[in-house]
């Protein structure tokens, strides 16, 4: 019977190890807490162009992540992209005239929404709209403008 016992212990250890591995994968590798922690309030911003912004992209203020983008859709009436952001309830005292802009981390990195604090005394509420927004910088436009300016400059000489 001792043999059976050691086999059962080995199998039990194996199963526990597998489950622990899955748990560690969930926590350490995919960081499951980061998108479960959607408790907070929702803020909406309208952007002319969101570029490569995706859902679950970070929302940061001063480089510190304070929330995530939860939805991106086209607003049919305004013909602008409606970006919904959930901001952690820890940061519930942001000025209501804060502005949002879409930035890129590094030259090729992922895009995120950066908030610039305003100066109003009242705070952003659930459902508030960011009044001032700045679209994503689309690299092709910049390159296109640069080439256009170059060639215009050549002709004037």
Partner 1 sequence: MTDLLQRLGAATLNNVATLGRAACFFWRILLGLSELLRRPGLLVHQIYSVGVLTLVIIVVSGVFVGMVLGLQGYYTLVDFGAEESLGVLVALTLTRELGPVVTALLFAGRAGSALTAEIGLMKATEQLAGMEMMAVDPERRVLAPRLLAAVISLPLLATLFTLLAIFGAYGVATTMLGIDGGAFWSQMQAQVSFTDDVLNGLIKSLAFGVVAGWIAVFNGYDCMPTSQGVSRATTRTVVVTSLIVLGLDFVLTALMFD
| Residues near partner 1, by CB under 8 A | 4, 7-8, 10-11, 13-15, 17-19, 21-22, 24-26, 28-32, 34-35, 56, 58, 108, 110
Q: How far is the CB of 102 from partner 1 (least distance, A)?
A: 17
Q: How far is the CB of 33 from partner 1 (least distance, A)?
A: 9
The whole-angstrom separation of Cα 45 and Cα 55 is 14
Residue 19 or 132 having the CB closest to partner 1: 19
Beta strands in the chain (DSSP E): 40-47, 58-61, 64-75, 80-88, 99-104, 111-116, 128-130, 133-134
Residue 106 or 119 having the CB closest to partner 1: 106
The answer to whether 87 and 60 are in contact (CB under 8 A) is no
Q: How far is the CB of 157 from partner 1 (least distance, A)?
A: 37
Q: How far is the CB of 8 from partner 1 (least distance, A)?
A: 6
- Element containing residue 12 per DSSP (H, E): helix 2-24
Residue 21 or 120 having the CB closest to partner 1: 21
Q: How far is the CB of 25 from partner 1 (least distance, A)?
A: 5
The whole-angstrom separation of Cα 134 and Cα 132 is 7
Place of tokens 């059976």: 4
Residue 1 or 77 having the CB closest to partner 1: 1
- The alpha carbon torsion through 150, 152, 153, 157 (nearest 10 deg) reads 140
Residue 19 or 142 having the CB closest to partner 1: 19
């Amino acid at each position: 019977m001792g043999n059976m016992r050691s086999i059962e212990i080995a199998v039990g250890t194996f199963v526990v190890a597998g489950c622990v591995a899955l748990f560690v994968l969930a926590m350490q590798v995919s960081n499951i807490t980061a998108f479960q922690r959607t408790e907070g309030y929702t803020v909406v911003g309208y952007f002319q162009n969101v570029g490569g912004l995706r859902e679950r992209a970070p929302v940061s203020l001063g480089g510190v992540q304070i929330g995530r983008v939860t939805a991106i859709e086209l607003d049919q009436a305004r013909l602008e992209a409606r970006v919904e952001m959930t901001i952690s309830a820890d940061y519930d005292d942001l000025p209501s005239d804060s502005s949002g802009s879409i930035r890129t981390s590094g030259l090729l990195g992922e895009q995120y929404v950066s908030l610039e604090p305003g100066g109003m005394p009242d705070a952003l509420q659930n459902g508030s709209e960011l009044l001032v927004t700045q679209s994503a910088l689309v690299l092709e436009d910049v390159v296109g403008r640069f080439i256009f300016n170059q060639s215009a400059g050549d002709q004037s000489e």
